[in-house]
Amino acid sequence: MRGTTTSLQDLEQLVDRLRERLESQEGLRMEAIPVDIAETDDSYVVTADVPGCDREDLAVRLLDPQTLQIAMDHREHHEERGDRYIRQEREHRSASRTLELPATVDEDDVTARFERGVLTVRLPRSTAQQSGTDIEISG
C-alpha cells in the first residue's frame, strides 16, 4: 500500500511541475471560476467570483436552454520604473465554467450584472424550447 501512496504523490508533484512550466513558458494561468447557484420561486441565480477582471474580460452564453457557460480571459501589464531598473510583469489568466441547470430557462429574460469582481446571472425558468444565445453583461 505504501508504494501506491508514494506513486500518487509523485504523480501530483509531476502534474504541479508541468503546470508551472506551462504557465511560465506561455504566460498563461488557468484557474477555476468559483460559483454559487441559488434557486428562487421562478429562476436560478448564478453568482461567480472573478476578482481583478473587467466586464470586457467576461463572456456569458447559454449553450442550450439548460447549459450556461461563463468564460474569462484577462490580460494584465504592469510596469515599475526605479532609478536604475525597469521591472515588467505580464499576466494572462483564462478560465471557463460550464454549468448544467436543473430545468430549461427563458433565454429572452436572462440578465447578467458585473459589479466589484462579482458576476451575477439571473436565469428565469421556462418550458419553451430555445437555442443558445449570448448574454449582455451590464454593470
Compute the distance between CA of residue 125 and CA of residue 7 in angstroms, rounded to an integer: 47
Question: Beta-carbon neighbour count of residue 76 at 10 Å?
Answer: 12
Q: Given pLDDT bands bounded at 50, 70 and 90, which one contains residue 136? A: confident
pLDDT at 51: 86
pLDDT at 109: 92
pTM score of the predicted model: 0.64
Q: What is the pLDDT of residues 35-62, one digit of tens each?
A: 999 999 999 999 999 888 889 999 999 9
Question: Beta-carbon neighbour count of residue 86 at 10 Å?
Answer: 8
28: nearest Cα among 79, 75, 81: 75
pLDDT at 58: 94
Residue 101 has pLDDT above 60, yes or no: yes
The grid coordinates of residue 81 equal 520604473
Q: Which amino acid is at 52?
A: G
Q: Which amino acid is at 32?
A: A
> β-strand 133-135 against 118-124: which pairing, if any?
unpaired
pLDDT at 23: 55
CA torsion through residues 65, 66, 67, 68, sign = positive
